[in-house]
Every structure is written in structure tokens, then in C-alpha cells.
Chain A
Amino acid sequence: MSQYKTGKVSIEHGSTTVIGYNTTWDADGITSGWIFTVKGERNIYWIDTVTDDTTLTLSQNYYHPNGNNLYNASYAIIQDYTTNYEWPKIANTDYNWVNIIRNALFKIDNDMGAGTRSTVTFSTPSQGTSGSYYPTSGSPATTTYYLPDSSILAEEGVLYYDTHKDGFIYLSGGMTSGGTTSGADFLPVWVPAWRKITAT
């Protein structure tokens, strides 16, 4: 869907109020949170409120590149967003698409780092292998443990689903020292330590 470009706008430099000419914003369903931009300018703004067909406010002050008031200028409002995360999409004749896409990439970056997800499906890695860890002292000298497939990143905080063990497994921090001695027995703590989540 293309940008909404009906009519013209005037805005005072440093103000949040946008006055429309021949605009029907309220009737056309222009919505708070959508992106607003002026043709030929680089900044993008977000709509705070749509007061009526010819008045809306931005969530930041409008700044004209030369410090002038804007009079009867062409503008665009982005109407097209992705379903779940509401990233702005573009069409062929859209204004200021570089900054719109730039904003979308920043939003993707943010949503990747801390975003909401409905479900996460872990794909099935191939079967892991047996490996050995070496305590720094004591006995046993080596002990064999199950290790995930090498495609799984071995860093603290990694979580994956193992089809061989039928469960979720994560890498805890473990200890940085070799272990403790209890009587004649050495009680090793291995580094790193893959742990399987117990479930009922």
C-alpha cells in the first residue's frame, strides 16, 4: 500500500501541530503511531493524535532544515506496516524511503534483541557425541560426558532442543576451578557444564 499523500500541510518550525488543507485524516482512518514525513526532507515523525480531518499533532517538534515555517507542502503518512512488529513498509513512489527503511532496520534490531515472540520452535540437531572433561586435579583423571552436536554454539546461556535426549539443554557457567575433594573421593565440577531441563 502506498503512502497517504492527500492534500497539503502547514507546520510552524518548532511546533507539533500540523494543519491540513483538503485533508480528511480522521475520516480516512489516519492513526496515532503512524509515521509522518514531509516531501524532500529527511526527518521522520510519529503521529501523536489525530484531532480531526485537518489537525493532527506529532510526538516531536517539527524542525525545518532552514528554520522556516512550512506552508502548503506535500507530505506523506505511512499506512502500511507488518503484522506483528509493525515495521514500516514502502511502495514504489513513496517519499523519504531511505529513512523509513532505516527506521525499520533499527526496529528489527531492537525486536531481535528484546522482542516479543509467540512461540519458538527449535529445529532438531543431529545426535551429539560423548566427550571428556579434565578436572585440574584429583581423580578421576577424565570423565566422559554427553556433548551436543558441534553446530550448537558452546557459550554460556545457549539453549537448544536435543532429539537424542528428548529435552531442552543449556550451557551453564559451571566453575572455573577443577573441583573439591571429599575424603578419598574427588568431586569434580566440569567446565563448561551442559544441563538438561527437568520437566514433569
Chain B
Amino acid sequence: MQYTTGTISIASGTPTTVTGVGTRWLANVSTGWVFKLQSEDTIYEIQTVTDDTTLVIDPAYGGATISGASYVILRDYTARYQWPILLKGNVNWAAVLSESLRRIDSDLYETPSCRYIKFVPQSAPSSPVEGMIYYNSSSQAFVYYTGAAWRVIQSTLLT
């Protein structure tokens, strides 16, 4: 579940330090998790949990001085890609879901860490573009498109 216990204050002038009142961060939150003010849409990441009432966040806070503000720290993520998970009763759920979409978009485009890719065996796609690669089911090999022609990737039996 999200952690929303206590309130926080942050000074103006792009600080990265968040001060808590009634917060117990050491036992409940971790580096890398999403920190968010309930009153704004910006997503911050926790850099350091200094003690129960002090956090360091990134990026720096750019708003006016606030105190007694409600905040939320997301504690639930998917295992591999660390996409925020939405649970019943979550506050600011639209921002949570949008942050998940933003991360999926980035992770899918750059594909930072995949163990393998299963290509669907098929014949040549009808509208090729340069950089396209597929697995050809009849030649049993990978084929890529140069922008002008399909090229078969050579291979040897693995020993």
C-alpha cells in the first residue's frame, strides 16, 4: 500500500530535502521509490532516506514553500521493470497509472533488460521498413531489411 503517514514541508528555492512531521520513513520507505505531493502532478524519486523525518528527492522541488502538506510514497511495483502498481484505496491513482504508462513507454522503446525475445515464425512482412528483423519460418533464419532488400543472417550450428 501507499505510505501517506504524517505531513511534510519543503522550502522554496529548488531544494532536494523533504522534512517530515509524524513520519516514520526509515522503516517504511526505500531509495528509488516514487515520492509525490498530493497537491501537484510532478513525480519525484527518493534518492536517500536519511532518517525518519528527512528524505532527499530528485529532481529538486520547484514550487513555493509548503508545510503541513499531504504526500504519497508509492511502495508497490512490478518485479522486473518496477512499474508502479495501482491498488484499491490508493490516492492520486491517475498520476500513478500515468507514471506506469510513462515507464512502460520508455522501457518498451529502449528495452533495457530482456532475457530473450520470442519472434513469431512467419513469412516476409508485406510492408518492410529499414531496421526490421523477423524470423523466417521456411528458411529457419533471421532476416532483416536494409531499406532496399531483405538479407538473411548467417549462422552455424551451436556446438
Contacts and interface: CB of A to CB of B under 8 A. Distances in A.
A151 B115 CA distance: 8
A126 to B, nearest CB: 11
A78 to B, nearest CB: 11
Contact of A94 (B94, B114, B121): B94
B101 to A, nearest CB: 5
Interface residues of A, number: 52
Interface in B79-118: 92, 94-95, 97-98, 101-102, 104-106, 108-118
Given A111-B108, A159-B142, A197-B142, A122 B114 contact: yes
B159 A84 contact: no
Contacts of B156: 195-196, 198
B120 interface: yes
Contacts of B126: none
B98 A90 contact: yes
Interface stretch (A9-17, A32-40, A65-73, A169-177): A169-177
Interface stretch (A23-31, A47-55, A113-121, A178-186): A113-121
Contact of B95 (A87, A92, A165): A92
Interface in B19-57: 41
Contacts of A108: 101, 104, 108
Interface residues of B, number: 37
A155 B118 CA distance: 8
A194 B158 contact: yes
B105 A85 contact: yes
Nearest to B112: A121
Contact of B108 (A90, A112, A125, A198): A112
| Main SS at interface, chain A | loop
Given A159-B142, A196-B158, A122 B98 contact: no
Contacts of B111: 117, 119-121
A18 interface: no
B78 interface: no
A160 interface: yes
A125 B113 CA distance: 11
B155 A89 contact: no
A173 B119 CA distance: 12
Nearest to A113: B120
Interface stretch (B10-18, B59-67, B69-77, B133-141): B133-141
B158 A156 contact: no
Given A145-B158, A157-B119, A157-B120, A89 B102 contact: yes
Contacts of B153: 197
B154 A197 contact: yes
Interface of B: 41, 92, 94-95, 97-98, 101-102, 104-106, 108-121, 135, 137, 140-142, 153-159
20 contacts: A82-B105, A89-B97, A91-B41, A92-B92, A108-B101, A115-B108, A118-B110, A121-B111, A125-B116, A145-B158, A156-B121, A156-B137, A157-B119, A157-B135, A159-B117, A160-B116, A170-B135, A170-B142, A197-B142, A197-B154
Interface of A: 1, 80, 82-85, 87, 89-92, 94, 97, 101, 104, 108, 111-112, 115-123, 125, 145-146, 151-153, 155-160, 165, 169-170, 172-174, 190, 193-198
